[in-house]
């Protein structure tokens, strides 16, 4: 039996991170973890069946339930499931597994890496901006026959909602829903700016089923997570290529395509269909009906966001590069062609400028760089490279076109970071033969962004690749051969590959990589200098981007992608866009801060600054033409 | 040349009403009139061409323009058009024509009668809740490339709109509209509760074209007015039968019909089509394009309003008689199937109870009975009879089913009060032959509600009709004959009628009339007694309803429809529903008061009070079984 101590709040400490938090008596440990910035893995949505959120109690006690997710042996060894355990006194727990990564990796391995705590937004409470209220209304009588809507408004007013907009779809079925539920109903309220809205009314108490979909709408790939808003857990994930890619690889070519007759409509349909597929995949996997989805949050770059809302993107590519909107109004996702019930409204993270969009605002919100005095350099590596520098006092941002290299585009055997992608790459010391690690542990099918970085850094260090990006044909390396497109390096032979082809990397691939990394490095360099700083003044360098398990910081510096700074300054947060979208879905405070944040960020147009082009050209070398910029990098040649 | 005196405000007095008002220098006289509660006729929307708003200056001077609407002779005789004249000093004017009536009469005659001033809402300013702002935005530059929406929001913030919802249709075309107008745009903002909304954005300055449609959605007929929101003038009117009538004559039979498969959809389509027709007729007549319509306000009974929004009306007819909503959210009229551009949002005047709807709230708002200490009895006579009693302290309301008699239903030759309807009816003193007045001055085609009242009162007084509603076959009257349905009175012989038929009134018609008037009288009686008052305690009796030019109060008392009180206590306001809708369209204050008004009105269910049925049965006689209730009525028999 559970005896709750009389103190109303208790301290919970999470090892090995050391994060501490004060919570109310009876708080679920998963929510305490969330508040502390510790994210626990789960695949069952907190029902106690997947067994992934295990903790060991080191000091103090928890009130826990035995559940199917733990074996008897685990239980006897003191393992408890956080989702089944409540705080009843001061307690220190050791988290058993690794935290959930912020990447949509689609595989179960985890190879470590520094994660969110210490670098995430702080000071927020778990109070999602989308709420489901189970209401019991008084049944009307001849003495009390006020309108249904008035009765409902009164009940919602008691929940703090005095001036609610009502969606027409709620109005249309209002009398039937109230009566079918015998005056017990569940109301879904979106605390939207500038006016909260009642988006859904369901008969009976269905407040236990309350899910949010979050999407990182990227130029090349779209990544989704399905969140259980009752537990704050990620219950499933999915990724797919953005079907817009068939109309152009980068945002500029898609904007150009949108000028064709019907072009924008086709682009919009393509992205909506991709989203439909991802949502279906996630809800099927988690066995969640779409009627129980309460809301959709998207974070995408400005071009992607604008096209998703069918708004002409042409002004984004022409000087003076003006976006149509910062925060679009929340509308039913259905009204923009997404196959969801009418009650699912869509919030798009706001955009700053033509090339700094909601994904970056999400990253800033998620990592909390706008909250701290320390100066951060936030780099989001994708088809576009977006960069933010600043702290709680000031923030500047810029974007550069990196090309699709880091997401598998422009690389002969490139692919997104999903099952079968080569990620880890080293050379065996004795034979100098490639040694690989592959996502999902299956045969390799291609090379993802982090794999490419590792390959380039390794071959450079080994002298197989020259600083000019050409293979050193004098080196005695049996993997290098002449291919159809010139010299190439054989990473996997056909007999070992997933599709029965040799997997190679060509000089053209290396060229594309060099241009991509040069653009990002030059962008960082130019932006940092634009505010009168040097790289050495930066306290934290935060890397966002979907690189399989993680980006290898060492390789990225070696290859000249990231500045050569003390490695302990680097944090890899995985997909910063999803991180921010997730925290925004968890917290009204962060949602509100997100709305006003773009107004506090100064946009910097790299294309208008001649020093950017100089920096870019200087970076078209491995790692850089200026060796002094990379003192820690050793070269074989 | 116009020299404006230095004083900033001037007094304007309107004769013959005697209303006075203070206005700013330069105010258009039409707006001054509106502020004073004087409504001037117009059919040109204030462009100076129809010549209907003429005034004579008695003291002081106006600054006026000569325009096509006046003949040289009129101008030489000192007639000026109010719509072309501005106030430059204290002035007294004599209004030349009669004020616009509140009826949708569709003909040009006016026979007099007491009108609005003295009995309308007071204390409001002319500030429509729907506003068109002509904006000039700064053109973006590379130094100022903020999002379009942010730029627009800033401009609207200067107009006092800080937290505007943006409609998706505005968002979708935002970049194109801003650029097509070279950063000059016109924004239409609906000051909707609970959140104002930007509903339309047009390129260039089109603020001069700003119209509102108001509709009285009745069970039998729908009446519309088209208002010019820049001048506060009624620019055209139209009326049509509600096409729902084919599914049932009264609200109960339509609710029953709505239970059929597809029934509600058919009913909704029928009313939407009727509305489409009325709006087209009005906009064609006034030569106004639909794109220049800014808003739609409807005032209808609860059943009509609920069906218009496709909301199941069944709970309205079953105890405990619960309406679905008081104030529905404003939605695009298009989304409820009305053929208007997407930017036209619809406001429905709020409902009090199942049988006291937005038309009555409009009447209360329009006549201002909720503002005064004097006790008013407001009676709206239509297919339903709705009654309100009260003052600024308290208000009670009730409804009774009168049937369609007063709108031409249930009467063999009944028709709505439009061209060709017999309205005035007397007997020539010498011959005792009928003497008629017909709306539009054409051959008679049928009998409207006020005609029916006049006919019954006249035949009763002459002894041709008995108090039991049967024709006195002993009376020597050649107009009475046996018809297919029993005894009937020939009003017009075939050779003189519009359609070549004899126009008659039958005993069945009289029976229907008696039931209708008994219901309304009993409703008034029961409601007044329910609050512990007697008819003698009432200060003002306000009659609303569309009775051609006017209802003849004397006849209505004679026939037992209205209580026998001093005639100077009676006010006829025409269509109270349109009056209130119009004033609500003119004034934010009244719009806001309308939203909260239903909460201050106590509903009284007549069907639950046994004394109502007693009163009803006692009223099934002409004028009443209790002669003492009608002391001023003389009988021939």
Per-residue model confidence as pLDDT tens digits over B456-466: 999 999 999 99
Nearest Cα of chain A lies from the Cα of B541 at a distance, in angstroms, of: 27
B616: domain CATH number is 3.30.420.40
Those residues of chain B that have pLDDT short of 50 are: 1-4, 97-118, 637
> Which of B379, B319, B348 shows the shortest CA–CA distance to B545?
B379
DSSP string of A607-625, one letter each residue: GG-HHHHHHHHHTSSSS-S
Residue A408, CB half-sphere, CA atoms under 13 Å: how many?
25
Phi (first) and psi of residue B96, to 5 degrees: -75, -45
The pLDDT value given to residue A112: 25
Beta strands B9-15 and B91-95 are parallel
Contacts of B542 (CB under 8 A, 6+ apart): B119, B363, B367, B369, B376, B377, B378, B379, B570, B571, B572, B573, B576
pLDDT at A181 over 90: yes
With beta carbons under 8 A apart, name residues in chain B contacting A137.
none
The reply to whether residue B314 touches residue A175, judged by beta carbons under 8 angstroms, is yes
Nearest by CB to residue A324, choosing from B149, B320, B322, is B149
Look at residue A499 and tell me whether its pLDDT is greater than 70: yes
Pairwise CB contact (< 8 Å): B163 & A319: no
State the helix-helix crossing angle for A168-180 and A148-157, rounded to 10 degrees: 90
Q: What is the CA radius of gyration of chain A?
A: 26
Q: What is the ipTM of this complex?
A: 0.82
B635 is a domain residue: no
Q: How far is Cα B210 from Cα A141, in angstroms, rounded to an integer? A: 45
Choose from B139, B149, B332 for mutation: most chain A CBs within 10 A: B149
Cα–Cα distance measured from residue A629 to residue A526, given in angstroms and rounded to the nearest whole number? 14
Residue-level length of chain B:
637
pLDDT-derived band at A509 (thresholds 50, 70, 90) equals very high
Query: Which member of B144, B325, B603 has the closest CB to residue A149?
Result: B325
- Model pLDDT, residue A176: 97
DSSP characters over B522-552: HHHHHHHHHTT--GGG-SEEEEES--TT---
Tell me the pLDDT tens digit for each residue of B89-135. Answer: 999 887 764 333 333 332 222 222 223 334 788 888 889 999 999 99
- Residue A49 in domain: yes
The predicted pLDDT at position B102 comes to: 31
Q: Which residue has the tokens 């709020």?
A: B350
Quote the distance between the C-alpha of residue A31 and its chain's center.
20
Whether A325 sits inside 8 A of B147 (CB atoms) is yes
Chain A residue numbers with beta carbons less than 8 Å from the beta carbon of B301 are none
Beta-strand runs (E) in B141-219: 165-166, 184-190, 197-203, 211-217
- Contacts of residue A319 in chain B, CB cutoff 8 Å? 142
Give the start-end residues of each E strand in A461-502: 480-483, 486-492
- Gap between the Cα atoms of A383 and B548, Å rounded: 72
pLDDT value at residue A468:
95
Domain count, chain B: 5
Residue A211 lies in a domain: no
A605 and B CB contact within 8 Å: yes
- Give the integer Cα–Cα distance in Å for A490 and A492: 6
Q: How far is B607 from chain A (nearest CA, A)?
A: 11
Length of chain A: 637
Instruction: Output the pLDDT for position A69.
Output: 64
Tokens standing for residue B185: 């745009």
Can you say how many angstroms the Cα of residue A95 is from the centroid of all Cα atoms in its chain?
23
Contact B336, B309 (CB under 8 A): yes
Both structure tokens of A295: 């809301």
- Determine whether the interchain pair B171/A353 forms a contact, defined as Cβ–Cβ distance below 8 Å: no
The answer to whether residue B470 is domain-embedded is: yes
Distance from CA of B18 to the nearest CA of A (A): 42
Q: Tell me the shortest Cα–Cα distance from A399 to chain B, in angstroms.
A: 15
Q: Are residues A445 and A526 both part of a single domain?
A: no
Distance CA A453, CA A28 (A): 41
- Interface touch B142/A608, C-beta < 8 Å: yes
- Tell me: do B472 and B378 sit in the same domain: no
| Alpha carbon of A164: minimum distance to chain B alpha carbons (Å) | 7
**Sequence-ordered strand ranges (E) for A91-204:** 91-95, 130-136, 165-166, 184-190, 197-203
Q: Tell me the pLDDT of chain B averaged across its residues.
A: 89
Place of tokens 């070696």: A558
Mean pLDDT of A438-456: 91
Residue A329's closest chain B neighbor by CA? B166
Interatomic CA distance for residues A559 and B380, integer angstroms = 84
Question: Collapsing DSSP states into helix, strand and coil, what is residue B236?
Answer: strand
Nearest beta carbon to residue B322 from set A140, A193, A327 = A140
* pLDDT tens for each residue of A599-613: 999 999 898 899 999
Same domain, yes or no: B257 and B341 = yes
Mutate to test the interface with A, among B145, B146, B147 (most CBs of A within 10 A): B147
| CB contacts, 8 Å: B314 with chain A | 175
Rounded to an integer, what distance in angstroms lies between the CA atom of residue A420 and that of residue A446? 7
Q: Which pair of tokens denotes residue B346?
A: 């619809």
Taking all residues of chain A, what is their mean pLDDT, rounded to a whole number?
Answer: 88
Omega into B304 within 30° of 0, i.e. cis?
no
pLDDT value of residue A118 = 46
Residues in chain B within 8 Å Cβ distance of A163: 193-195
Q: How many helices (H) and strands (E) does chain A have?
A: 15, 29
Q: How confident is the model at residue A172 (pLDDT cuts 50, 70, 90)?
A: very high
Query: Could you tell me the CATH number of the domain that includes residue B245?
Result: 3.30.420.480
A268 occurs within a structural domain: no
Residues 6 or more apart whose CB falls under 8 angstroms from that of A171 comprise: A149, B309, B311, B324, B325, B328, B329
> Residue A274: inside a domain, yes or no?
no
Beta carbons of A165 and B351 less than 8 Å apart: no
A137 touches chain B (CB under 8 A): no
Q: Is there a contact between A339 and A291 (Cβ–Cβ < 8 Å)?
A: no
Between CA A332 and CA A335, with CA A333 as vertex, the angle to 5 degrees is 70
Identify the three-state secondary structure at position A329.
Answer: coil
Residue A131: the pLDDT is 97
Q: What is the pLDDT of residue A27?
A: 86
Q: What is the 3-state secondary structure (H, E, C) of B152-163?
A: HHHHHHCCCCCC
What six digits make up the tokens of B404? 């369609």
Do B320 and A142 make contact, defined as CB atoms within 8 angstroms? yes
CB atoms near residue B444 (< 10 Å): 24
A45: phi then psi, degrees, rounded to nearest 5: 70, 25
Boundary of a domain, candidates B476, B497, B512: B512
pLDDT score of A548: 63
Domain end residue (candidates: B95, B112, B139):
B95
Q: Chain A closest CA to B538's CA: distance in Å?
A: 27
Q: Within 10 Å of residue B290's Cβ, how many Cβ atoms?
A: 14
The reported pLDDT for the residue numbered B265 is 98
The predicted structure's pLDDT at residue B106: 27
Could you give the angle at the alpha carbon of B488 between the alpha carbons of B624 and B483, nearest 5°? 145
Query: B530 with B607, same domain?
Result: yes
Predicted local distance difference test score (pLDDT) of residue B41: 57
Q: How many CB atoms lie within 10 A of CB A71?
A: 11
Rounded Cα distance, A328 and B169, in Å: 12
Out of A35, A68, A95, a domain closes at A95
**For A322, which of B145, B336, B605 is closest by C-beta distance?**
B145
Q: Are residues B567 and B498 in the same domain?
A: no
Alpha-carbon span A437 to A439, nearest angstrom: 7
Q: What is the pLDDT of residue B39?
A: 62
For residues B187 and B273, membership in a common domain is answered with no
Buried-state track A164-190, b at ≥16 Cβ within 10 A, e below 16: bbbbbbbbbbbbbbbbebebbbbbbbb
CB-based contacts of B419, cutoff 8 Å, min separation 6 = B106, B107, B439, B440, B442, B445
Condensed to tens digits (0 to 9), the pLDDT of residues B552-576 reads 999 999 999 999 999 999 988 888 9
Q: What is the pLDDT of residues A329-377, one digit of tens each?
A: 999 999 999 999 999 999 999 999 998 999 999 999 999 999 999 999 9
Q: Please tell me the distance in Å from A335's CA to the nearest CA on chain B.
A: 9
Residues B153 and B16 both lie in one domain: no
Q: Do A172 and B310 touch (CB under 8 A)?
A: yes
Most A CBs within 10 A among B137, B141, B144, B145, hence the mutation to make, goes to: B145
- Residue A175 at interface with chain B, using a CB cutoff of 8 Å: yes
Q: Which of A349, A415, A408 is nearest to A217 (CA)?
A: A349
In B365-424, the residues whose Cβ lies within 8 Å of chain A are none
Does the beta-carbon distance from A324 to B147 stay under 8 Å? yes
Is B491 a domain residue?
yes
pLDDT of residue B71: 62
Q: Which domain holds residue B42?
A: 9-95
Q: What pLDDT sits at residue B72? A: 64
What's the CATH code of the domain at B84?
A: 3.10.20.30
Q: Is there a single domain that holds both residue A506 and residue A426?
A: yes
Whose tokens are 């700074």? That residue is: A565
With respect to residue A324, please indicate whether it lies within any of the assigned structural domains: no
Q: Pick from B412, B433, B427, B384: which is nearest to B510 by CA?
A: B412
Q: Which residue of A has its CA nearest to B162?
A: A194
Contacts of B336 in chain A (CB under 8 A): 168
Nearest by Cα to A581 from A44, A128, A240, A117: A128
Predicted local distance difference test score (pLDDT) of residue A107: 26
A492 and A457 part of one domain: yes
Tell me the whole-structure pTM to 2 decimals.
0.82
Residues 6+ apart with CB under 8 A from B73: none
Q: Which of residues 332-361 of B touch A (CB under 8 A)?
A: 335-336, 351, 353-354
- Cα distances (angstroms) measured from residue A362 to each of A161, A590, B458: 27, 10, 80
Chain B nearest-CA residue for A600: B146
Distances (CA, A) of A370 to A32, A389, B203, B382, B453: 24, 10, 38, 64, 76
Co-location of A537 and A419 in the same domain: no
Which residue is listed with tokens 């949502």? Answer: A279
Q: What is the dihedral of CA A461, A466, A467, A469, to 10 degrees?
A: -120
Domain match, A497 and A621 both: no
Chain B positions in Cβ-Cβ contact with residue A347 (cut-off 8 Å):
none
Q: A501 and A421 share a domain?
A: yes
Q: Which CA distances in Å does A513 have to A211, A408, A447, B36, B326? A: 39, 10, 12, 77, 63
Copy the structure tokens of residue B279. 């709006």
**Contact between residue A307 and residue A264 where contact means Cβ atoms under 8 Å apart:** yes
DSSP 8-state class, residue B141: B
Tell me which chain B residue has its CA closest to the CA of residue A141: B320
Q: Which residues contact B19 (CB under 8 A, 6 or more apart)?
A: B13, B36, B37, B38, B117
The predicted structure's pLDDT at residue B379: 96
User: Chain-centre distance of CA A254, in angstroms?
Assistant: 23
User: B291 with A155: CB under 8 angstroms?
Assistant: no
Q: Which residue of A has its CA nearest to B308?
A: A172
């Amino acid at each position: 039996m559970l005896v709750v101590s009389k103190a109303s709040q208790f301290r919970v400490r999470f090892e090995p991170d050391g994060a501490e938090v004060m919570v109310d008596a009876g708080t679920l440990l998963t929510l305490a973890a969330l508040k502390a910035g510790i994210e626990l893995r789960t695949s069952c949505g907190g029902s106690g069946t997947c067994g992934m959120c295990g903790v060991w109690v080191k000091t103090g006690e928890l009130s826990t339930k035995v559940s199917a997710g733990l074996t008897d042996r685990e239980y006897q060894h003191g393992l408890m499931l956080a989702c089944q355990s409540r705080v009843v006194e001061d307690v220190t727990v050791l988290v058993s597994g690794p935290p959930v990564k912020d990447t949509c990796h689609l595989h179960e391995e985890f190879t470590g890496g520094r994660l969110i705590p210490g670098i995430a937004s702080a000071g927020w409470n778990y109070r999602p901006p989308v709420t489901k209220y189970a209401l019991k209304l008084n049944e009307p009588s001849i003495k009390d026959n006020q309108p249904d809507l008035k009765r409902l408004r009164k009940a919602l007013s008691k929940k703090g909602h005095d001036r609610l907009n009502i969606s027409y779809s709620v109005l249309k079925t209002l009398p039937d829903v109230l009566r079918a539920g015998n005056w017990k109903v569940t109301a879904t309220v979106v605390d939207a700016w500038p006016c909260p809205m009642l988006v859904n009314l369901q008969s009976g108490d269905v407040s236990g089923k309350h899910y949010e979909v979050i999407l990182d709408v990227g130029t090349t790939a779209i990544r989704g997570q399905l969140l259980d808003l009752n537990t704050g857990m990620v219950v499933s994930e999915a990724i797919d290529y953005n079907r817009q890619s068939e109309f152009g690889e980068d945002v500029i070519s898609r904007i150009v395509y949108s000028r064709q007759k019907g072009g924008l409509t086709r682009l919009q349909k393509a992205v909506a269909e991709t989203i439909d597929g991802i949502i279906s995949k996630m809800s099927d996997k988690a066995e969640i009906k779409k009627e129980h989805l309460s809301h959709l949050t998207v974070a995408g770059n400005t071009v992607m966001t604008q096209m998703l809302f069918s708004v002409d993107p042409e002004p984004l590519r022409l000087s003076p590069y003006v976006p149509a909107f910062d925060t679009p109004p929340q509308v039913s996702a259905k009204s923009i062609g997404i196959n969801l019930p009418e009650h699912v409204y869509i919030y798009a993270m706001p955009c700053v400028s033509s090339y700094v969009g909601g994904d970056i605002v999400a990253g800033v919100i998620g990592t909390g760089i706008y909250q701290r005095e320390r100066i951060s350099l936030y780099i989001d590596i994708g088809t576009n490279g977006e960069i933010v520098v600043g702290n709680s006092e000031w923030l500047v941002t810029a974007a550069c076109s990196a090309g699709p290299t880091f997401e598998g585009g422009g690389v002969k055997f490139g692919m997104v970071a999903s099952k079968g992608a080569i990620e880890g790459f080293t050379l065996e010391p004795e034979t100098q033969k490639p040694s690989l690690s592959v996502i999902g542990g299956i045969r390799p099918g291609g090379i993802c962004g982090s794999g490419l970085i590792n390959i380039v850094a390794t071959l450079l260090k080994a002298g197989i690749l020259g600083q000019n990006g050409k293979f050193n044909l004098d080196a005695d390396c049996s993997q290098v051969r002449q291919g159809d497109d010139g010299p190439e390096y054989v990473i996997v032979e056909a007999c070992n590959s997933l599709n029965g082809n040799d997997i190679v990397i060509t000089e053209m691939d290396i060229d594309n990589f060099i241009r991509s990394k040069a653009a990002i490095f030059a962008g960082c360099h130019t932006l940092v200098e634009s505010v009168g700083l040097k790289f050495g003044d930066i306290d934290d360098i935060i890397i966002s981007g979907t690189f399989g398990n993680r980006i290898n910081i060492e390789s990225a510096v070696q290859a000249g992608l990231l500045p050569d700074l003390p490695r302990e300054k680097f944090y890899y947060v995985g997909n910063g866009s999803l991180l921010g979208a997730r925290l925004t879905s968890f917290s009204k405070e962060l949602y509100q801060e997100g709305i006003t944040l773009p107004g506090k960020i100064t946009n910097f147009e790299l294309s208008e600054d001649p020093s950017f082009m100089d920096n870019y050209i200087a970076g078209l070398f491995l790692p850089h033409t200026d060796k002094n910029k990379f003192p820690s990098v050793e070269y074989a040649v």
